[in-house]
Amino acid sequence: MSAADEPDEELFARVFLTRVIEPGDEIGGRWVREYGVREVARRLAEGGRPLAGVSGKRWKGLLARAEVARPRADLAVAREAGVRFVRPGDAEWPGQLDDLGDARPLGLWVRGRASLRMWALRSVAVVGARACTEYGAHMAATLAAGLAEQGWVVVSGGAYGVDGAAHRGALGAGGATVAVLACGVDRPYPRGHTQLIGRIADQGLVIGELPPGDHPTPSRFILRNRVIAALTRGTVVVEAAHRSGSLVTARAAQRLGRYTMGVPGPATSGLSAGVHELLRGEAALVTDAADVVELVGDIGQLAPDRRGPVLPRDLLAPAARQVLAALPGGRAARPDEIARRAQTAQDDAIARLYELRALGYVERHGDGWKLTRQAMVSVRGGPEPC
């Protein structure tokens, strides 16, 4: 590395701190905000007096981590793996992550050629259960493919189940996807998704807060979810039990003022219980990409109207439909009764009845009128007359 390419002190300090301070640590974030990243790194490297907000025991733990932190080595390993470090203030830094306040990442390790900032501007998170059903995998893949086809970037966590299905759906549609990992981006996790995460890195982006080689833990998975929520315009949950980690992502999105959406499932499915709980709150119900884009997209990007098939009775004039709906289902009725039910004059009702007879909807029975067998299904497609 030439002198011109030598990383600056602030970069070294941030990379150093990614080894020392856990992702989402708001106390560490407050130190960085109040004292600056270089001063916090210096205090930890030199083993000075504890900074405010931590016990002596925890401070010793941080100092022990600081002793083995090697930012130059981390940057060298990252460079060999085709990974770059993006920090606040860089042109590629997504400004929406600043909404996390003191829980904002110190920086992100990024693998892939695209601009993270540009992709994040038009992105949606699709998350859900790891042990998803076939229905959940199908919905996640279909939703992600639809979003990708409309030019949206699909963001997820790279895990088994819904996450993997969402990534594959976007990739299969030739679209863009981002995997946010809870470990070093040079060490794909889960191992069974090594090939998938490699494909994402080639066609999209793989990002994470932890330095090269670092391993995931349960708490890191949970804290990773705040990045997914903050990075995107909205979060869609596809299948989630009551204690699913994907609900953490959804609630973080709500706190950050992002859109929160859920795909409904069977009322009897425990894997949809968490989604249904969200839908009883402030989350919006979505069933396809058009629904999602209507919420998170630009003004005027509306989902198509949802309606059932057109029935022959829908083509009738409103007055004729009103008289048709007024006929009882199983017996003949006199014109005065039909007029009363249709809330119209008797002469008008009789005129409409003759029109309906010509179309095969009604027939004369003595002094009364009755629906034909052919018309019964058509009429029952609407409100049942009293």
Query: Are the C-beta atoms of 238 and 132 separated by less than 8 Å?
Result: yes
| Cis bond before residue 94 (omega within 30° of 0) | no
Q: pLDDT tens across 292-320, in order?
A: 999 998 645 555 556 555 556 666 788 88
In a domain, 193, yes or no: yes
Q: pLDDT tens across 147-176, in order?
A: 999 999 999 999 999 999 999 999 999 999
Same domain, 143 and 237: yes
Q: pLDDT tens across 101-123, in order?
A: 999 999 999 999 999 999 999 99
Domain count, the chain: 3
Backbone angles phi, psi at 285, to 5 degrees: -80, 130
| Residue of 174, 171, 117 lying closest to 140 (CA atoms) | 171
Q: Kindly state the percentage of the chain with pLDDT values over 90.
A: 73
167/144 Cα distance (integer angstroms):
7
Specify the CATH number for the domain of residue 340. 1.10.10.10
pLDDT score, position 5: 47
Give the helix ranges, DSSP H, for 188-314.
194-203, 218-231, 245-255, 273-280, 289-296
Range of the domain at 49: 3-76
pLDDT score, position 313: 65
Q: State how far Cα 162 lies from the chain centre.
A: 11
pLDDT score, position 360: 81
Q: How many CA atoms lie within 13 A of 366 on its CB side?
A: 5
Q: Which two tokens stand for residue 90?
A: 């860089």
The answer, yes or no, to whether residue 135 has pLDDT greater than 60, is yes
Residue whose pair of structure tokens reads 């793996």 in the numeric block: 81
Greater confidence, 243 or 100? Answer: 100
51, β-bridge pairs: none
The answer, yes or no, to whether residue 3 has pLDDT greater than 80, is no
Average pLDDT of the chain?
90
- In the chain, what are the helix, strand and coil shares in percent, each to the nearest 5? 50, 10, 35
Q: Do the bridges between strand 284-285 and strand 362-365 make them parallel or antiparallel, or are there none, so unpaired?
A: unpaired
Give the helix ranges, DSSP H, for 85-161.
116-120, 134-149
Same domain, 121 and 207: yes
Same domain, 285 and 252: yes
Same domain, 26 and 105: no
Greater confidence, 25 or 316? Answer: 25
Same domain, 173 and 252: yes
The pTM for the full model equals 0.78
Same domain, 106 and 242: yes
The answer, yes or no, to whether residue 290 has pLDDT greater than 50, is yes
In a domain, 386, yes or no: no
Q: pLDDT tens across 222-237, in order?
A: 999 999 999 999 999 9
In a domain, 86, yes or no: no
Q: Which two tokens stand for residue 309?
A: 């098939």
Q: pLDDT tens across 180-219, in order?
A: 999 999 988 999 999 999 999 999 999 999 999 999 999 9
Same domain, 288 and 329: no
The answer, yes or no, to whether residue 84 has pLDDT greater than 50, is yes
In a domain, 331, yes or no: yes
Q: Which two tokens stand for residue 82?
A: 């085709």
pLDDT score, position 328: 86
Query: Are the C-beta atoms of 176 and 147 separated by less than 8 Å?
Result: no
Q: pLDDT tens across 332-381, in order?
A: 999 999 999 999 998 888 888 888 887 888 888 888 998 887 676 554 44
Q: State how far Cα 94 lies from the chain centre.
A: 18
pLDDT score, position 380: 47
pLDDT score, position 123: 97
Query: Are the C-beta atoms of 109 and 15 separated by less than 8 Å?
Result: no
The answer, yes or no, to whether residue 256 has pLDDT greater than 60, is yes
